[in-house]
Amino acid sequence: MGGLFVAAERILMTFQVYDTTLRDGAQREGLSYTVADKLAVARLLDEFGVGFIEGGWPGAVPKDTEFFRRARAELDLRHAVLVAFGATRHAGRKVDDDPQVRSLLAAETPAVTLVAKADLRHVQRALRTSADENLAMVHDTVTYLVAQGRRVFVDGEHFFDGYRDDPGYTASVAQTALAAGAERFVLCDTNGGMLPSQVTAVIADLTARLGVAPGQLGIHTQDDTACAVANTIAAVEAGVRHVQGTANGYGERPGNADLFAVVANLQLKLGFPVVPEGCLEQMVRVSRGIAELATIAPDDHQAYVGAAAFAHKAGLHASAIKVDPLFYNHVDPQLVGNRMRILVTEMAGRASVELKSRELGLDLTDHPETLNRVTKRVKELEAEGWSFEAADASFELLVRSELPDAAPPRPFTLESYRILVEHREDGAVVSEATVKIRVRGERVIATAEGNGPVNALDEALRVGLAKHYPELRDFELADYKVGILAGSHGTGAVTRVLVETSDHTGRDWTTVGVHPNVVEASWDALVDALTYGLDRARG
Amino acid sequence: MGGLFVAAERILMTFQVYDTTLRDGAQREGLSYTVADKLAVARLLDEFGVGFIEGGWPGAVPKDTEFFRRARAELDLRHAVLVAFGATRHAGRKVDDDPQVRSLLAAETPAVTLVAKADLRHVQRALRTSADENLAMVHDTVTYLVAQGRRVFVDGEHFFDGYRDDPGYTASVAQTALAAGAERFVLCDTNGGMLPSQVTAVIADLTARLGVAPGQLGIHTQDDTACAVANTIAAVEAGVRHVQGTANGYGERPGNADLFAVVANLQLKLGFPVVPEGCLEQMVRVSRGIAELATIAPDDHQAYVGAAAFAHKAGLHASAIKVDPLFYNHVDPQLVGNRMRILVTEMAGRASVELKSRELGLDLTDHPETLNRVTKRVKELEAEGWSFEAADASFELLVRSELPDAAPPRPFTLESYRILVEHREDGAVVSEATVKIRVRGERVIATAEGNGPVNALDEALRVGLAKHYPELRDFELADYKVGILAGSHGTGAVTRVLVETSDHTGRDWTTVGVHPNVVEASWDALVDALTYGLDRARG
């Protein structure tokens, strides 16, 4: 651990990007990671270049104890320092006799973050101890862990509420932590009620009161006023050089500060090189990878990394964007690994369809009639509930079907299919599908089971096509989404299905189907997926 | 229209909350309103107490022309002034000869907002006209509309980018608009790249340069740096008294400033009474109503209005929250029409289960054994992928099944069910379900069709139960959600189904089912829904 010790001076000059996705971020409603998920999230965060990864609370959460154990053997971090999170010693107990503190040491991380109550009301009513004992708890625990060779951070819980209520006491908690050897004292807006100008004012007041440099402080915000990112930026502008946040802003209630937006703002707007060279471009990939591990649908409208972050819809814009894309994007999307997208929608005219087609490699400039037909067809289908915004492959098939000799061959024709789902008397649930299709002149009947109706149908179709299309083996259904549509209710609704398929090279493509019956909607999306994939495999 | 004219002095003192959900907000990817939707959204916004509702672009968008026509007959707004949005006159054309400007008058709204290019580069490259002609277009159009009795706002498009590039020209656009009689000149961060401190600096520089009061300016931000709300607040702190935003932050790319967060911050954090008395409490209802009309799932993590905005998960917190809830909420949730929720999750211990049960009217204080059993059962089920966070009714059934004599009677027992989905040779798609059940000693076999497998199953079950439970007629499936779970892929995934059911009194309840087979997961949720609803109907 000695080799990880960094000279004090360098520490205070270094900008610290501190991630707490795996600890505070895991408080998000509905989120739960396995230990394997946590290791995978940590690897992604390291690829993004954060300086610190707070892995969890060893001792208090069994999964986290296990995480730190496995991390020692399995995690080989290039950029980040692993941090164990815990509390100051228990009131009235000796620090070296406190099992929770011992668990922190047992995690064997180079750094430890301690949560300390910074609001006297919480000290008295939730912790049920005295003002002085709380300070002693901070002093003793920091001193002890520093003596054991740990870098120590102290999170001042409810710092801002406490500072409003009793600035003297709250400041004394910060002073105690720093005097005992804490590397940074982190101002936590635990209840998330702050605005940027208030953060600025508090930091100025606190640093003047204590005579400390703002570089000795850190900032941890929550998004309850929708200002978490801005509050973090305000703290940095006030001199703070340690920012905490979580991937995609995951966290309790509205969430924490989104570390991606924080880092992108710091680096691209304020010129702080806070992540190593080459890391910023990993942002979209890391963001989506963590969303997948968290099994949370990515937020298309997330700043910088969302699929819609650089998407342009208005027909008005679309024609101007052709002139100069950077006039319509606040930064170059490639800097964060994102890309500009032109959306094909009912609000878009021929210009958008033309631009989108070109993006897919189909130039319609010399085919004005085709362009008109496609635009008309898109509008008709959208009136029925179709949407091609996310389904590039279905859109490409649509355009090519209108171009002379460009339509890919349909791999088969359907005669009929039938699906049976049974909950039997013994409790077993069975799904079975039969397809009757014609493949290259041959009539094929194929039956397969699946763990649900759509899976059974997919399997049966693959069985039926296997002889003529062996490359189907490489296609995997990567994602399957069902949406209920406009103005309809409950299970009687019109459904839209999006299917994402990938092949052995890692390429993926998305197709769409719409129908009142979810099975038929899925069928349409599956058939498009196979048609598109087979054509590409042979092209 | 004369009666709507407001004395200039009063206008400059009045705080203007200006909503553009129906115009700029409609640029959001995937969003599309019917005219009826737009009228309903306008009514909700009015109930929330906004001062201005920008309804769309008459003339340019046929749907918007129709909206303004119907609004005259059908919209009876209590608080808001309706605004038509359009552009300055076409380059090289006389203003009274411009059909687009005439369409604005034909909308017969008390106020008109004109978009004007405020970035010289856009003037030259996108509009393809000269610097002077652009200023003349602003001057002519504002003067003309004011002479026609309209209140006029001017949106300075790409204002901040323009100001960075050529502050002199951009300022002259603002000056021209105000000199011509515009009520406010609105600083638009069209590409969304600003940070709060930059907004503050630009407003100070602009007002000094022009010698105008910040009260003559408005602010319109986009969320591309995740700072739209903070940028708006920064402008208000700099003296701006006209804020633009959209419901739930809907808008192009990451979206616009969320008007709910803006208003709540202004009112609850900065003390500006920006909406009429009694309106702030409508916020959650209006937010969710508009989400429903937009057919966008509400964002549970949205500040102030999200279902998780005041939800507490950590077991650690849950016990302290019992002591004093307001120590853990940045504002009283009731002020915005929201409520505090305790989440039952794997991270929660007995305290959360106890608190949640009490919230549902089941006091477990005297049943420690039951409390232990329920906590254990919840943890087991959650390990399988169940989640009770959103499914209060299923959670209540679970608790009551562990309490002596409290379990509601199961309305039937299942022998088996069978579902058939066929895509026939003639192209027809048919779903049919048969259930074999035992109801009060009687064996019942019932078959029904539906427009999908789950709908058919729901219908067959209702047919089978109708004789014994006529009150089922009043139950309606209000929402049906399918989620794909953790670590699984494609159609072979484990699915979680949430079913929301409502009765004729408007009460609704949510139940959950989890199974690899989506049909069986739906079945579990449907059975819980009927059991819970029938018990309540008879209780």
Closest chain A CA to residue B349? A61
Burial A403-415 (b: 16+ CB within 10 A, else e): eeeeebeebbebe
Specify the pLDDT at position B488: 39
Q: Contact, A166 vs A150, CB < 8 A?
A: no
Of A421, A481, A490, the CB nearest to B519: A421
Query: Tens digits of per-residue pLDDT, B89-142?
Result: 999 999 999 999 999 999 999 999 999 999 999 999 888 999 999 999 999 999
Separation of alpha carbons A533 and A263, rounded Å: 37
In sequence order, the β-bridge partners of residue A498 are: A481, A512
Separation of alpha carbons B215 and A243, rounded Å: 35
Q: Is B427 exposed, middle or buried (0-12, 13-18, 19+ CB in 10 A)?
A: exposed
User: Could you tell me if B379 lies within 8 Å of chain A, comparing CB atoms?
Assistant: no
User: Could you tell me if B81 lies within 8 Å of chain A, comparing CB atoms?
Assistant: no
CATH architecture of A413-538: 2-Layer Sandwich (3.30)
Specify the pLDDT at position B10: 44
Q: Contact, B206 vs B163, CB < 8 A?
A: yes
Q: Which three-class secondary structure state does DSSP give residue A498? A: strand
Separation of alpha carbons B138 and A262, rounded Å: 38
Question: What fold does the segment set B469-539 form as a domain?
Answer: Double Stranded RNA Binding Domain (3.30.160)
Q: Which three-class secondary structure state does DSSP give residue B309? A: coil
Separation of alpha carbons A316 and A470, rounded Å: 46
Shortest alpha-carbon distance between residue A3 and chain B (Å): 36
Please report residues of B whose CB lies closer than 8 A to that of A481: 484
Residue A274: name the closest of A301, A240, A249, A297 by CA. Answer: A240
Please report residues of B whose CB lies closer than 8 A to that of A304: 224, 226
Please report residues of A whose CB lies closer than 8 A to that of B324: 125
CATH architecture of B15-294: Alpha-Beta Barrel (3.20)
Residue B56 predicted with pLDDT over 80:
yes
How much is the average pLDDT of A253-260? Answer: 97
CATH of A29-293, one of 3.50.50.60, 3.40.50.720, 3.40.50.300, 3.20.20.70: 3.20.20.70
Specify the pLDDT at position B25: 96
Specify the pLDDT at position A317: 59
Query: Tens digits of per-residue pLDDT, B383-422?
Result: 677 878 778 899 999 999 988 888 888 999 999 999 999 9
CATH 3.30.160.270: which residues of chain B? 469-539
User: Could you tell me if B328 lies within 8 Å of chain A, comparing CB atoms?
Assistant: yes
Separation of alpha carbons B160 and B224, rounded Å: 14
The full length of chain A comes to 539
Q: What's the angle, vertex CA B351, arms to CA B349 and CA B353, rounded to 5?
A: 75
Of A233, A295, A308, the CB nearest to B29: A308
User: Could you tell me if A270 lies within 8 Å of chain B, comparing CB atoms?
Assistant: yes
Place of tokens 């300022």: B171
Q: Do A453 and B519 touch (CB under 8 A)?
A: yes
In sequence order, the β-bridge partners of residue B422 are: A418, B430
User: Could you tell me if A438 lies within 8 Å of chain B, comparing CB atoms?
Assistant: no
Q: At what angle do helices A131-147 and A167-179 cross, to 10 degrees?
A: 20
Of A418, A482, A484, the CB nearest to B422: A418
Quick one: CA torsion of A42, A43, A46, A47, rounded to 10 degrees? Answer: -140
Q: Contact, A20 vs A256, CB < 8 A?
A: yes
Place of tokens 């171009």: A403
B 331-350 residues inside an 8 A Cβ radius of A: 331, 343, 345-347
Specify the pLDDT at position A367: 86
B229 vs B324, higher pLDDT: B229
Specify the pLDDT at position B12: 47
Tokens, residue A351 = 């210009």
Burial A43-79 (b: 16+ CB within 10 A, else e): bbbbbbbbbbbbbbbbbbeebbbebbeebeeebeeeb
User: Could you tell me if B253 lies within 8 Å of chain A, comparing CB atoms?
Assistant: yes
Residue B490 predicted with pLDDT over 70:
no
Query: Tens digits of per-residue pLDDT, B149-170?
Result: 999 999 999 999 999 999 999 9
In sequence order, the β-bridge partners of residue A515 are: A495
Query: Tens digits of per-residue pLDDT, B271-286?
Result: 999 999 999 999 999 9
Specify the pLDDT at position B322: 66
Specify the pLDDT at position B316: 56
Please report residues of B whose CB lies closer than 8 A to that of A37: 487
Of B225, B422, B453, the CB nearest to A261: B225
Q: Do A32 and B480 touch (CB under 8 A)?
A: no
Q: What's the angle, vertex CA B219, arms to CA B213 and CA B225, rounded to 5?
A: 135
pLDDT band at B512 (very low <50, low <70, confident <90, very high): very high
User: Could you tell me if B389 lies within 8 Å of chain A, comparing CB atoms?
Assistant: yes
pTM, two decimal places:
0.76
Tokens, residue B371 = 């409390």
Q: Do B253 and A487 touch (CB under 8 A)?
A: no
Specify the pLDDT at position B375: 86
**pLDDT averaged over every residue in chain A:** 89
ipTM: 0.76
A 408-427 residues inside an 8 A Cβ radius of B: 414-425
End-to-end Cα distance, chain B = 56
Q: Do B254 and A306 touch (CB under 8 A)?
A: yes
How much is the average pLDDT of A271-280? Answer: 95
Q: Please give the full DSSP string across A329-343, using - where no structure is assigned.
A: -SS-GGGGT---EE-
User: Could you tell me if B450 lies within 8 Å of chain A, comparing CB atoms?
Assistant: yes
How much is the average pLDDT of B451-458? Answer: 92
Residue A415: name the closest of A433, A440, A438, A446 by CA. Answer: A438
Here the contacts of B4-7 (C-beta below 8 Å, separation 24 or greater) are B4/B81, B4/B110, B4/B151, B5/B149, B5/B151, B6/B151
Separation of alpha carbons B414 and B531, rounded Å: 13
How many Å separate Cα A455 from the centre of its chain? 27
Cβ neighbour number for residue A94 with a 10 Å cutoff: 11
Residue B413: name the closest of B366, B464, B379 by CA. Answer: B464
Report the percentage of chain A scoring pLDDT > 70.
92
Query: Tens digits of per-residue pLDDT, A474-507?
Result: 998 877 777 766 443 444 467 888 888 988 777 8
Separation of alpha carbons A481 and A525, rounded Å: 11
Specify the pLDDT at position A358: 84
Tokens, residue B430 = 């048919």
Q: Please give the full DSSP string across B184-217, using - where no structure is assigned.
A: EEEEE-TT----HHHHHHHHHHHHHHHT--GGGE
Residue type, A539: G
Residue A303 predicted with pLDDT over 50:
yes
CATH 3.20.20.70: which residues of chain A? 29-293
Give me the total of CB pairs closer than 8 Å, taking one residue from chain A and one from chain B: 352
Q: Do A490 and B481 touch (CB under 8 A)?
A: no
Burial B70-87 (b: 16+ CB within 10 A, else e): ebeeebeeebbbbbbbbb
Residue B462: name the closest of B524, B411, B521, B407 by CA. Answer: B411
Separation of alpha carbons A471 and A91, rounded Å: 66
Q: Contact, A141 vs A89, CB < 8 A?
A: yes
Q: Is A277 exposed, middle or buried (0-12, 13-18, 19+ CB in 10 A)?
A: exposed
Of A231, A253, A270, the CB nearest to B309: A253
Residue B250: name the closest of B217, B284, B299, B301 by CA. Answer: B299
CATH 3.30.160.270: which residues of chain A? 413-538
User: Could you tell me if A166 lies within 8 Å of chain B, comparing CB atoms?
Assistant: no
Q: Do A451 and B492 touch (CB under 8 A)?
A: yes
Separation of alpha carbons B429 and B451, rounded Å: 8
Specify the pLDDT at position B402: 87
Specify the pLDDT at position B516: 87
Q: B412-467: what CATH class?
A: alpha beta
Residue B53 predicted with pLDDT over 80:
yes
Q: Contact, B444 vs B426, CB < 8 A?
A: no
- Tell me the longest C-alpha to C-alpha distance in chain B: 88
What residue ranges in B379-428 does DSSP mark as E strands? 413-423
Separation of alpha carbons B16 and B259, rounded Å: 12
Query: How many alpha carbons lie under 13 Å from residue B123 in its C-beta half-sphere?
Result: 26
B392 vs B229, higher pLDDT: B229
Please report residues of A whose CB lies closer than 8 A to that of B424: 416
Separation of alpha carbons A355 and B271, rounded Å: 48
Specify the pLDDT at position B539: 67
Specify the pLDDT at position B296: 82
User: Could you tell me if A130 lies within 8 Å of chain B, comparing CB atoms?
Assistant: no
Closest chain B CA to residue A230? B227
**pLDDT averaged over every residue in chain B:** 89
Closest chain B CA to residue A437? B425
Tokens, residue A428 = 């077993």
Tokens, residue B294 = 């937009």
Tokens, residue B375 = 């906590």
What residue ranges in B88-166 does DSSP mark as E strands? 111-117, 151-157
A163 vs A517, higher pLDDT: A163
Q: Do A421 and B423 touch (CB under 8 A)?
A: no
Separation of alpha carbons A280 and A273, rounded Å: 10
End-to-end Cα distance, chain A = 55
Residue B453 predicted with pLDDT over 80:
yes
pLDDT band at A412 (very low <50, low <70, confident <90, very high): very high
Specify the pLDDT at position B324: 76
Q: Contact, A285 vs A336, CB < 8 A?
A: no
Looking at A334-343, A447-456, B218-227, B451-460, which range is the least confident one?
A334-343
Residue type, B427: G
Specify the pLDDT at position A2: 31
pLDDT band at B351 (very low <50, low <70, confident <90, very high): confident
Q: Do A27 and B347 touch (CB under 8 A)?
A: yes
How much is the average pLDDT of B440-447? Answer: 96
A44-48, B296-300, B401-405, B499-503: which has the highest mean pLDDT?
A: A44-48
Closest chain A CA to residue B233? A195
* Phi, psi (deg, nearest 5) at residue B496: -115, 130
By 3-state DSSP, what share of chain B in percent is helix, strand and coil, each rounded to 5?
Answer: 45, 20, 35
Q: Which of A253, A387, A459, A503 to mutate to test the interface with B (most CBs of B within 10 A)?
A: A253
Separation of alpha carbons A54 and A34, rounded Å: 16
Element (H, E) at B244: strand B242-245
B 173-192 residues inside an 8 A Cβ radius of A: 191-192
pLDDT band at B323 (very low <50, low <70, confident <90, very high): low
Specify the pLDDT at position B536: 87
Separation of alpha carbons B30 and A311, rounded Å: 11
Q: Do A313 and B422 touch (CB under 8 A)?
A: no
Q: Which of B64, B123, B227 to mutate to test the interface with A (most CBs of A within 10 A)?
A: B227
Element (H, E) at A397: helix A392-402
Specify the pLDDT at position A525: 95
How much is the average pLDDT of A28-52? Answer: 90
Q: Please give the full DSSP string across B54-72, using - where no structure is assigned.
A: EEE-TTTSHHHHHHHHHHH
Q: Which of B233, B256, B421, B479 to mutate to test the interface with A (most CBs of A within 10 A)?
A: B421
Please report residues of A whose CB lies closer than 8 A to that of B195: 230, 233, 265, 269-270
Of B389, B421, B487, the CB nearest to A30: B389
By 3-state DSSP, what share of chain A in percent is helix, strand and coil, each rounded to 5?
Answer: 45, 20, 35
CATH 3.20.20.70: which residues of chain B? 15-294
Separation of alpha carbons B525 and B522, rounded Å: 5
Query: Tens digits of per-residue pLDDT, A338-389?
Result: 988 877 654 456 777 888 888 888 888 888 888 888 888 887 787 677 878 7
Closest chain B CA to residue A196? B230
Report the percentage of chain B scoring pLDDT > 90.
67
User: Could you tell me if B146 lies within 8 Å of chain A, comparing CB atoms?
Assistant: no
Closest chain B CA to residue A267? B225
Residue A6 predicted with pLDDT over 60:
no
